[in-house]
Amino acid sequence: MNTAIVHIDCATDSIPEVAEALASQDGVSEVYSVAGNADLIAIVRVPHFDDIAEVIAGRISKTPGVVNTETYVAFRAYSRHDLEDAFAIGLPDAD
């Protein structure tokens, strides 16, 4: 799976509508409303690297209310959740 993190600037009066429109698009797994330099952050997860361009340039940037995007392509994921799954052998927790 290929992952990209997209910082999205929106027209100020349309942030909730843009978030809902983005969340319903194929390839967009999550959309967060955030404080900071961006209005929204979208997580894009697609099976093929070339699909990232289709989702971001082809759909996200063309969504009404989106003013600008800045994309970060993930090389590797480091997550406690991933590590726990990798080392789980199917036994119940000892707690």
pLDDT value at residue 68:
97
Question: Is the per-residue pLDDT at 95 higher than 90?
Answer: no
pLDDT digits (tens, 9 = 90+) for 30-79: 999 999 999 999 999 999 999 999 999 999 999 999 999 999 999 988 87
Q: Is 21 helix (H, G, I), strand (E, B) or coil?
A: helix
* 82: amino acid identity, one letter: D
9 CB-contact burial (10 Å; exposed 0-12 / middle 13-18 / buried 19+)? middle
Cα–Cα distances (Å) from 36 to 8, 18, 27, 59, in that order, read: 11, 17, 24, 24
Residue 20 has pLDDT above 90, yes or no: yes
Tell me: the pLDDT tens digits for 43-56? 999 999 999 999 99
| 60: Cβ contacts below 8 Å, ≥ 6 apart | 6, 8, 22, 25, 28, 42, 44, 66, 69
Beta strands in the chain (DSSP E): 2-10, 28-33, 40-46, 66-73
SS3 20: helix
